Amino acid sequence: KPNDMDSAIWEKIKDHPCFSEEAHHYFARMHVAVAPACNIQCNYCNRKYDCANESRPGVVSEKLTPEQALRKVMVVANEVPQLSVLGIAGPGDACYDWKRTKATFEQVAREIPDIKLCVSTNGLALPDHVAELADMNVDHVTITINMVDPGVGARIYPWIFYDHRRYTGIEAARILHERQMLGLEMLTARGILTKINSVMIPGVNDEHLIEVNKWVKERGAFLHNVMPLISDPAHGAYYGLTGQRGPNAMELKALQDRLEGGAKLMRHCRQCRADAVGLLGADRGQEFTLDQIPGEVV
């Protein structure tokens, strides 16, 4: 344990492969793709594929019901001894598709009480569910925050669906921003560790992520993970209707270096699929598709 780290925090991160660089060599996570619905539109998202806020775009995960997810977790827990974390990272938004997320966590926690539960969200519906996340002992949440200025946000999010209606433009981005900050503050107040994912979009929010890093640090974020936009039309990722390139490795590293000294950076993210299984960077998801899992009742 690092000397300057609180032991309660250490307990939470020591076997979480994303929240601890060290842990990712020894511990595995699995995702179950139980949450297909989403309440916002990101310009870099093609709805046919996994949520690009947390995942490598251009990948279609097998959607599961909570019951199917439980069976899959039971099989993987037996076959992957390093498994320590169950995450829900789409393919849409886990907090918006809340019923399925909650049912999955409850069923899995009943069978495997010591597995850590982890969730990734765009933040819009997050404040509505923080109390339940705390009740379910979810200790790790990721919010994708790409801007703190609604003017920048309007170039990233064409619309959001909130409180029974659709909002567009600056107004949409302002609501999303306020909900993201509120959600982060609520998580921090409950001692839930929060990682912020930011998608770096050259010419749109690259410089602005320095400001984002300051805001999230002030509000208690535990880690900041700057991920490159992967914009390959062949893989289904696109940016609105116009071409938008992603950053190259040097540009990403230069930005990460400028962020040193702010909110602590995560640098070992592998932009996992919404159905990833195993150690980061060694995905075994294809070994555990539903047709390979016994007990399916058709």
Q: Rule CB under 6 A: which residues touch ligand SF4?
A: 38, 40-42, 45, 51-53, 90, 92-93, 122
* Window 155 to 194, contacts with ligand CLF (CB under 6 A): none
Smallest distance, ligand SF4 to C-beta of residue 42, A: 3
DSSP string, 102-157: HHHHHHHHHH-TTSEEEEEE-SSSGGGTHHHHHHTT--EEEEE---SSHHHHTTT-
Query: Considering only residues 280, 283, 285, 288, which one is a binding residue for ligand CLF as defined by CB under 6 A?
Result: 280
Contacted entry of ligand CLF, ligand SF4, none for residue 209, CB cut-off 5 to 8 Å set by kind: none
Question: Of residues 13, 27, 29, 181, which one binds ligand CLF by CB under 6 A?
Answer: 29
Of residues 215 through 274, those in contact with ligand CLF by CB under 6 A are: 225, 269-272
Q: Which two tokens stand for residue 154?
A: 């309007």
DSSP secondary structure string, 57-90?
SS--PPP--HHHHHHHHHHHHHH-TTEEEEEE--
What tokens were used for 223? 């880690």
Answer for which of 13, 15, 18, 167 binds ligand CLF (CB under 6 A) is 18
Write out the binding residues for ligand CLF, residues 64-93 only, by CB under 6 A: 85, 87, 89
Strand 28-31, strand 193-200: pairing: unpaired
CA angle 105, 99, 20 (to 5 degrees): 40
Q: Which residue is nearest to ligand CLF (CB)?
A: 87
Whether the link from the prior residue into 2 is cis, omega within 30° of 0, is no
Min CB(92)–ligand SF4 separation in Å: 5
List residues near ligand CLF by CB under 6 A.
18, 29, 31, 54, 85, 87, 89, 118, 120, 140, 142, 195, 225, 269-272, 280
